[in-house]
Structure 1
Amino acid sequence: MHASTIATSDPDGTVVSLSPARRLLNGVGPNWFASVMGTGIVATAAASLPVQWPYLRGFAEVVWIVAAVLLAALALVVGSHWLRHPTVARSHAHNTQMAHFYGAAPMALLTVGAGALLVGTDVIGAQAAVRLDWTLWSIGTVAGLFTSVTIPYLMFTQHDVTPDAAFGGWLMPVVPPMVSAATGALLIPHMAPGTGRTTMLYACFAMFGLAMIAALIIITMIWSRLVHYGTSGTARVATLWIVLGPLGQSITAAGLLGSTAAVAVDPRIAGAMQAFAVLFGVPVWGFALLWIGLAAALTVRTLRRGMPFALTWWSLTFPVGTFVTGTSQLALHTGLPALRLAAVAAYLGLLGTWMLVAVRTAYGSVFGYLLRPPPVADIRNEIQLSQQPQDHAVT
């Protein structure tokens, strides 16, 4: 029995036939890598908790394996499909919503790599874990720096951005360097003493600044958009939780870099970096609590109005996970029991949302509604638009 094809037509009447498999793959965009991020952070956050309990380590190892397998599968499927049909990748890059989620793939690589060091040593061995983390960190860092430049450039020169367009997804392409800063800190102790270690430490702090300042600009725009235009009332509301990502990840990065600074720089500078972990982390943690309250209230409000399930719900996982790891770092640096309790409570919340979103994603994948691709005409129009000269480029 031969697979049937589905015919559709462009505005000019040209008939385009796509096989069911091709249409299915067209629906798998870069936003799917958010599922790897959300799954991987469950494992790494568990390993970072200041309070451990029986079987938590084993649970984290299983979740990390799931994240690693999911990453490999998505990289193979999406990568090979984009290589065979580059028009699909270009259409995603020129889609004002989807383009920002190109930042998800680098963060997925970095998350799985960090998990290799934190929980994967018992699974694949210490040496293999370090090598795997170095590989994924290197690829993820280069890719993340690339998205942090190219996607904003496309926004400035080619995307048609309306005054009310700002949403949490805008943070996705600029946050990867912050994840590189946090996960890079884990690799510093595995480097030989000398200039390399010092360079790595300062490079991580530079990426910390790159992502943090860009994120603060975007968060301000999101706040302004909410004040002037309100929420969209759709599944996009879930992306408000992405704001927690740079907040929690910056606290995590500051804490990890402060902890490892002593092996890379002069004791005086190392002491200042350790102090920075607290002086920076606690105020940002306070704002993160404010944002959790606002995002939760807006999410509940939209759910009551019938917010449908979509892949944007994965925004409830990775950002919350970074809040867990950031709180764990503050608990480590301050020794406060209240922060240890807060880290455990936040992790339990993360587990609940992760299980909910994972089950809904599996259901939506099996029944196909999460894999619906954009119309072929829309893809053609996006590509034609990208090939036209733009008259609103920034000079």
Structure 2
Amino acid sequence: MGTGIVATAGAAMPGLHTAATYVWALDAALLAFLVAAALRRWTWTTVRAQLADPVMAQFWGAPPMALMTVGTGALLLGKDWIGLPAALAVDWTLWTIGTVLGLATSVLVPLRMIGSGERAFAGWLMPVVPPMVSAASGALLAQHLPEGSSRQAMVLGCYALFGVSLFATMVIVPQIWQRLVQHGLGAASTVPTLWIVLGPLGQSITAANLLSGVHVVPGQTAFGVLYGTITWGFALLWVALAAAVTVRTARRGLPFALTWWSFVFPLGTLVTGTSALAAQVPSAMFSGVAVVLYGALVVAWATVAVRTVFQR
């Protein structure tokens, strides 16, 4: 996810298309390796044990997003190397698998939490973000469908997926804020997960504006820009809050953990969302902020990747 979003976000950055394509190739190779390793180690008993754990269960939202991020990269970047037909085949396959898995996590994991008595943390958003990724990725695929009922059905289906994730997010975020107010931040290693809140925000901005580019119903463009700009404002507020908390915690000690990857993918979705807004409304503000955020994304990815490899 983290490496893939660096590639897909870079596709919209001037002069970075080739470099982003190499990052996508690295991400595709990592995905193939990790899938092979997971299939060798996972058993039904292991899966059930992870789903039974109230913390580990949340991160089952990551695999479907990883699949779809690589698929989107194939369509945006990989087509230069493997050709458009092959890129479409890869993207459709990964999008379909990712969407099915994402809908499953959106139902099964929240169902698991009912009556558990667990306190909400930002990781609760992980299982419900995949449908929003499906909506954004599906908008790109819809552009390659013939005009008519099939394209319309795809776009409307993506809006439905948009709704699945959006309203689930609206239920969960207030619980996260309530926990922060009443119980504080918790362990320092969990502080990076605050950045996960940017995931559904940034991805929804991206989805709304990519869908507005596939005209099948009136008012799509206006919805994308208005919704996107309003949500973008709140996302920047959350960046300020999360950054302040992260800096304050780092001064006291922020030990490395794999939760540091929470700095990467969510920020990347804000980059893609800002770039999507810039494409709809030519604005130096959106374009400039997108470049600044992308620079921060690359720094975050490089830092976390190095720490993962050498200091895990």
Q: TM-score range by the shorter chain?
A: over 0.9
- Post-superposition offset of 1:147: 0.5
Partner of 2:267: 320
Superposed displacement of residue 189, structure 1: 1.6
- The 5 A counterparts of 1:162-311 are 162=118, 165-261=119-215, 265=216, 269-270=217-218, 272-311=219-258
Matched residue, 1:147: 105
Deviation track 1:98-139 (CA, whole Å, cap 9, x = no partner) reads 100000000000100000001101121111001000000000
Question: Which structure has the bigger radius of gyration?
Answer: 1
Matched, 1:74 2:34: yes
How high is the TM-score relative to the length of structure 1? 0.77
State the shift of 1:87 in Å.
Answer: 2.0
Aligned residue identity for 1:104: A
Q: Which amino acid aligns with 2:74?
A: A
Is 1:105–2:105 an aligned residue pair?
no
Give 1:356 shift: 0.2
Is 1:248–1:288's contact at 8 Å kept on the other side of the alignment? yes
1:123 aligns with 2:112: no
Q: What is the rounded CA distance, in whole Å, between the counterparts of 2:36 and 2:206 in structure 1? A: 30
Q: Are 2:18 and 1:64 aligned?
A: no
The count of aligned residue pairs is 312
How far residue 289 of structure 1 moved from its aligned partner, in angstroms, is 0.6
* 8 Å contact kept, 1:47–1:119: yes
Q: In structure 2, what residue type is equivalent to 1:196?
A: S
Contact kept, 8 Å, 1:41 with 1:322, in 2: the verdict is yes
1:96 positional shift: 1.1
Q: In 2, distance between residues paired with 1:234 and 1:352?
A: 21
Tell me the amino acid that sits aligned with residue 106 of structure 2: S
CA contact (8 A) 1:107 1:140 kept: yes
Q: Is the 8 A contact 1:233 1:302 kept in 2?
A: no
Q: 5+ unaligned residues in a row in structure 1: which ranges?
A: 1-36, 365-369, 371-395
Residue matched to 1:333: 280
Q: Specify the SS of the correspondent of 1:172.
A: helix
The range that moved more, 132-141 or 214-223, is 214-223
Query: Amino acid of the residue matched to residue 277 of structure 2?
Result: L
Q: Which runs of at least 4 in structure 1 moved beyond 6 Å after TM superposition?
A: none
**Which structure carries more helix by proportion?**
2
CA-to-aligned-CA distance 1:200-256 (integer Å, 9 cap, x gap): 000000000110010111111111111111101321110000000000000000000
CA RMSD of aligned residues (A): 1.1
**Distance in 2 between the 1:304 and 1:87 partners?**
41
Q: 2:5 aligned with 1:41, yes or no?
A: yes
Alignment pair present for 1:353 and 2:307: no
Please give the secondary structure, in 1, of the residue aligned with 2:214.
helix
Query: Within 2, Cα distance between the matches of 1:43 and 1:171?
Result: 23
Paired amino acid for 2:89: R
Q: Distance in 2 between matches of 1:353 and 1:260?
A: 33
- Match for 2:173: what amino acid? I
Q: Distance in 2 between matches of 1:233 and 1:97?
A: 14
Q: Which has the higher contact order (CA 8 A, sep 6+)?
A: 1
- The alignment-based identity, stated in percent, is 54
Q: 2: distance between equivalents of 1:86 and 1:326?
A: 37
TM-score of the superposition, structure 2-length normalised? 0.98
